Structure 1
């Protein structure tokens, strides 16, 4: 119970300090300080949670806090963990998309009229767009030791 009381007092002090920091000019803050509004909100939430725990322990007569007996706190912890895991998964997916976007090549290609007509005819016969035929062609190209490019015969699909 004494440790929880210490945590309540610490959270109250930190909440007060971060509120004061919000009122101070930005020049007084160090270059590595985070967002003071976010920090203030975090300490308000921590202070509220420690007060809830202290009230729960006092109301239930618990000499020691137990997460297993704190149904509400355990539920919130599981929800926070699920949110964190979801955010991490979304961030990882976003990073993969960004990497894929960096690896992609978008090119604008100007072809002579006769080559363009042949490409369009091939695309029409296969039901593909001309860009898709070129992408499949590029996917199959290989370079030999002398730097010459070659593509084996293939049917666009």
Structure 2
């Protein structure tokens, strides 16, 4: 699951801002504004050098700092309007709603992943095969399938499910009604 730059900024700023005073938030707003400006300038003026293998993508970094700047300004405005002495994430209804939304998306994604892996695990136990039968055996299978209103592969699968191996190694299929 990939979070957007807004999601990353909201989560990061919310954790960092916990317990900060208005003065601390003001400093964070100023730093975010500076970082946003610096990354935008770096993005506009290419250096001409090849980026390092583990270096941040400047577009992503600029987008993240812009999102952090917006989130810091939102918290700053919230604190000024509310008169809080320190930022408390639990009192921030908008931030809490966004955090719950992110967590719900994450939980949904994890459920999908678990279902996908379970499906793959179940598929390991299945067998898909192509069987070439003689003409008489093929006609018998098709006749049985038509009589039971099933497809020929469903009849073959049910025959295999009901097959038993005797003590002497012989394979037989007891009488059953296809369903």
Shorter-chain TM-score bucket reads: 0.7 to 0.9
- Tell me if structure 2 keeps the 8 A contact 1:141–1:149: no
Q: Which runs of 5+ in 1 are unaligned?
A: none
Residue of structure 2 in register with 1:150 after alignment: 171
- C-alpha contact (below 8 Å) 1:137/1:151 kept by paired residues: no
Q: Which of residues 52, 70, 89 is equivalent to 2:92?
A: 70
Distance 1:64 1:156, change over 3 A: same
Deviates more, 1:4-13 or 1:125-134: 4-13
Q: Unpaired segments of 5 or more residues in structure 2?
A: 1-20
Q: Distance in 1 between matches of 2:164 and 2:48?
A: 62
* 1:93 equivalent in structure 2: 115
Number of aligned residues: 155
The CA distance in 2 between the partners of 1:109 and 1:125, in whole Å, is 21
Shift of residue 132, structure 1, vs aligned partner: 0.5
2:105 matched to which residue of 1? 83
Q: Deviations over 1:25-68 (max 9, x none)?
A: 793132x5576644543443233212211221122221111223
Question: Residue 18 and residue 100 in structure 1: after superposition, are their counterparts in 2 closer, same or farther (change >3 A)?
Answer: farther
Find out whether 1:105 has 2:127 as its counterpart. yes
2:29 maps to what in 1?
8
Q: State the alpha-carbon separation in 2 of the partners of residues 135 and 68 from structure 1.
A: 58
Query: Structure 1 pair 131/9, CA: closer, same or farther in 2 (3 Å)?
Result: farther
The reply on whether 1:28 has 2:51 as its aligned counterpart is yes
Displacement of 1:71 in angstroms is 1.6
Q: Spell out, residue by residue over 1:102-149, the C-alpha distance to the aligned partner (whole angstroms, 9 max, x if none).
A: 554332222110000111111122221110111222334456788x46
Deviation readout 1:7-40 (Å, 9 max, x if unpaired): 435544554565536956793132x557664454
1:130 aligns with 2:152: yes
- Tell me whether 1:119 sits opposite 2:135 in the alignment: no
- Structure 1 stretch 136-145 or stretch 65-74: which is displaced more? 136-145
Q: Aligned pair in 2 of structure 1 residues 145, 17: CA closer, same or farther (>3 Å)?
A: farther
Q: Whole-Å Cα distance in 2 between the matches of residues 133 and 57 of structure 1?
A: 71
